Structure formats: C-alpha cells, structure tokens
Structure 1
C-alpha cells in the first residue's frame, strides 16, 4: 500500500505548521514535510509531531532575498557565507524536529563558477549532516516555474551527486518537474533509483492535485512500488480549493 506525505508548504497553508500537522494526520497522511518552517518554534512542531506520530521527512534551506526574487543561495558565487549559514540553520532545525532530509536550494545561476560553488556547498552540507544521519537532497526545477534555476534536469543532478561522492547526497525526484523537463517517468525512476532520496508528485501541467492531467499516477505509483520503494511519497501540489476538498485522490491511489 502506498504511503503519502503532506507537503505543508502547499497544503493547509491557512494554518500554523503545528495545526497543519494535525490536519495531515486527520486526513490520513503517513508523514509530513515542509518548505521553510523557521518562523515556527521547533518545540511546537515537535509537540505536534509527537502528538500525531507523524515523521517529518524534510525541509528546505532558505531562498535568500525574496524581494529580489532569489530561490536559493548555494550556487551563487560570492554568497558562500550566506549559503553555509542557511545550511547550518536547516540542519539545526532538522535535528531539532527529527527531519530526515534537507533540500539544499541552488538558486538562479549558470556556468562553471556556479557549479563549483554548488559542489563546494554540497560537500560542506553533507559533511555537517552526516553525523546526524541527515540526507542532503538536490532537486531539479522546471524552467517554466523557475527559469534560470541552476539545476533543471536529473542528468545534471546525477552528475553533481557523482562529483560530490558523499553517501548522504541524494536526488529529490519530483514527478511534476521531471515530467515537464524530461518525461519518461517510468524509465527515469528505474534508472535513478539508486540515487533517489525522496519522491514528490503533483498534476501536470498545472501542479494541482494528482487527478487527471498528463501523468497517470496510478501507473507511476505502481512502477514505484514494483521498484521496491516503500517510503512515503510527497504530495506537493497547489489548489485554489481548501486542502480538505482536494483529497479524493488519496483513496484511489493508495492501493
């Protein structure tokens, strides 16, 4: 039976993070994950996790200057100090809340200097996270939602993972982003399984709940199960409706 994680960066955003954790439990999710939880006291998040029994799968490093439209710091030459501070903050919050993964966001950059900067940041992140059993994730983002983002394909992500060579550096395989950029999800999942650390999903192409659209998630989830993946899959979708009104897909896709 498939297990699902509620991404609270998009779901129940009208509630505090502890309230959203309780809502995810009531809705039948098996785990939770978030984007940038740093405005919430870690002790309050832990209390909600303890009360519901849900694990926190992961969180992101800070994006940087939101007024300037930044979306990560770790591939930006000249911002190394800020990038390391964001990594330290994320690992500390992950440790406090028991989060299993930290997604290190690269940012908008291109070229050799950016790649070297990103690799060095990831080497630092992996070294800092390893003693605590935390996995560092990198995620390719599609160039429709995030034009100019440093990492946009799984091929490039795998090259970075190979170059860094750390045992706790893995790929965040978001079916939504990968379908928009590359397609061929079934074969991509099978080929990349050894380096995948987390899997997310949303309807393509509008990033809505996973019903309809161009991806048959009943098939894709079957492929994932056949590959031997048993961790919760991250529901990271947007909807104009209240979250509780969008959850009909869970019953249909859980088996």
Structure 2
C-alpha cells in the first residue's frame, strides 16, 4: 500500500476509490471480518494522503492538490479514520453554533455533514435536519442545503433511516429530491440498501402518489433502490415483486438493473474465496 503514496494523479485515486466502493458493496455483507478489512484497506490508502494534504486550502495549492484533498478526506472518514472523524465533528459543531464564521472551505461542506451524522454523536442528525429546514440561518447555498438532506440519509441507525425515508416523502422535500436521499442512503453503509428496499416495498403506493405512476422520477427511484444488490436471490426477489406491477415508467431501467445485479452476483460467487483470502493475508485489523 505504501507504493500508492507516491501517486499524485487524481484520476488514479478516483479509480481506486470507485473500485473500493464496488468491492465494499459486493462483499460487505459477507462477514464483519471482510467488511472491516476492506475499510482498513481504504484507510491505509486514503488516510496518509488526507493527513499530508490537511483540511486547509492554501493560496499556493494547485488544482490537483485541491481535488486530491476533496477525495481523500471523505474516503478516509468513510473508512473510519478517527482523526478525520474527530476533526469533521469538531468543525461541524463549530459551524452549527457559529454560522457566521464558517470554519472550513465550502468544498468540505457535504463531507463534513455526512461524517458528522454517520460517525458522530446521534444528535448531529437532528442538527443537520435543522440546517436543512432553516438553511438561511447558516447561509447554505442550495447545493449545500441538499448536502444537509443527503447527510440525514447517512445515519447508521435503522430507525432513523426509516424516519429519513418517510421525511423524504413529506411536504418538506420536493418530489425530485427523493432520489437524492435514496442515493445517499444505499451507499452509506452495508445494510442501508436492505432498509431502503423494505421501506420501498412497504410504501410503494405512497411513492406512486407522490411521484406519479408514469413519472420519469419513478424510474430513477427504482433504479437507485435496487441497483446495489449483489445476490441472485435478491434479483429473483425483486423480479417477483415487480411481476404484477405497472412498470411502464421503468420498463428499461428495471431489466438493466436486474442484469447488473446478476452480473455482480456472479462476480461475488466466483471470487469470494480469493478476495477473502487476499484481505486476510494482506490487511491487518
């Protein structure tokens, strides 16, 4: 892993990030041990880069350094880097209590909100929800207001996940923003996609009423809800559930998503033993 630290190409780090995310989504449900090793592997890559670059944007920074900072800090935080988590929570708390003196660069707003909710004290969920509902008090742009909404979906508490999904169907959230919540949530941690699927099937009629049965938004919601599963059993379950539903709004995206699930499932089944063994040999906990 040390050899990667000399790499300073943003595209390379972006590809590494995407591959780690793909591995996590494919094998995180396999066991606690493998999931923790994947995150430890991510920490070994991104934490040194985050520590080197730091949180402060400098006038002498190149565009490359700014982009590397923007990818390394959120990835290190997602992977459980305690220094990154502690600093993100400190900055979040400072910003919440003193909105007129923002203590971090605007590029970090989304990352800090997400880390503060996912890994910080449970009350951060309520604080970021307050920021979403009263964004003018914190001078949030519309993009950063959406970041606050997305951060609510990064909670690790299953009850709060369900609460967030119900909230996303309320008058507080525009219909087109429901998919933002779903997108953040399904990728937030290894079990959130299962919560989203249970909520989706339990609230399907409410979703139809909110979005419209023939709305293009419904197609995006369906694709986001099911797109990160990776077992043949789940593909069959999803296909069976939709069998008697009116699917005109997503008659192309549903088969494509199911095909992708089955492709990922074959990858999972083919390589699970090799992947588990590699991480056991090369990544310490």
What TM-score, normalized to structure 1? 0.40
Q: Higher relative contact order at CA 8 Å, sep ≥6: structure 1 or structure 2?
A: 1
From the CA coordinates, give the structure whose radius of gyration is larger.
2
Greater share of helix? 2
What TM-score, normalized to structure 2? 0.37
